[in-house]
Structures are given as C-alpha cells and as structure tokens.
C-alpha cells in the first residue's frame, strides 16, 4: 500500500528563495534514496470561502505564506528505510546545521496510508 509523508509549513515570504533552494536539495536526496515522488507547493489560492483555509490552519501572519508538501513511497516500510538512509546523508546533515528558513515547531507533519489513488482508478 502506497504511503505519503505530508507537511504544512508556514514560511515567511521573505524566506521563500532560501526555502526553495533547501527543498530542491531535499528533493534530490529523497529521490536518490528511492522516494517515488516529492512535491513542494506554495500557497496560491488560499482565500477560500468554505472549509478551513490553510492560512488559518497554519496560523500565518500577513508576512507569511503556506507550503504544502508531500513525499510518496511504495509503503510505510519503504518510507522507514528511505528515511533511515536520509538521516545519514551528509547533504541533510549540512542542511540541518544551517539556519532554517522556517520555524520547525510550527510545521505540521504526518504519515498517511493512501486511501484512493487516482492513477489506479
């Protein structure tokens, strides 16, 4: 069963270029260890009239935006194996030693079992 790690991250707009550089490196690392897909998506149409807007969910300030991202794996076991290798990669260690473009304490994260896969419908 496919598995996804999902993230919702409030990020200062002034830090988006730094975040994009960091995310581009992370994408290369995750894909090199077998992640099936890696997406980083910046908020665009966030003033919705129904439901709970991501900006409210993430409690963003006017100077911030929201990034929604996900990484796709074959299974939870595959995710665990990939992430074990990731944490030993020197590119990730370097990234973790540099100042972060966002407050990690405000990041929402979770692992998800895929319920419906549109590619298989």
| Predicted pLDDT of residue 121 | 60
What pLDDT digit, counting tens, does each position of 65-112 carry? 999 999 999 999 999 999 999 999 999 999 888 889 999 999 999 999
Contact call for residues 13 and 63 (beta carbons, < 8 A): yes
Give the burial class of 46: count Cβ atoms within 10 A of its Cβ; 0-12 exposed, 13-18 middle, 19 or more buried. Answer: middle
CATH class of the region 3-116: alpha beta
Look at residue 83 in the predicted model and tell me its pLDDT: 96
For residue range 26-49, what is the model confidence (pLDDT) as tens digits?
999 999 999 999 999 999 999 888
Alpha-carbon distance of 113 to 100, in angstroms, equals: 29
Q: What is the pLDDT of residue 14?
A: 97
**Alpha-carbon distance 33 to 89, whole Å?**
10
CA dihedral 78, 81, 82, 83 (to 10 degrees): 120
Helix (H, G, I), strand (E, B) or coil at 13: helix
């Amino acid at each position: 069963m496919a598995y996804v790690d999902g993230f919702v991250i409030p990020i200062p707009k002034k830090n988006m270029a730094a975040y994009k550089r960091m995310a581009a490196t992370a994408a290369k690392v995750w894909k090199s260890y077998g992640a099936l897909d890696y997406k980083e998506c910046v908020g665009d149409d966030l003033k919705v009239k129904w439901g709970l807007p991501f900006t409210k969910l993430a409690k963003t300030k006017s100077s911030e935006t929201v990034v929604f991202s996900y990484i796709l794996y074959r299974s939870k076991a595959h995710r665990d194996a990939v992430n074990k290798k990731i944490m030993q990669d020197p590119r990730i260690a370097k990234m973790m030693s540099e100042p972060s473009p966002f407050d990690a304490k405000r990041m929402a994260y979770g692992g998800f079992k895929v319920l419906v896969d549109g590619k298989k419908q």
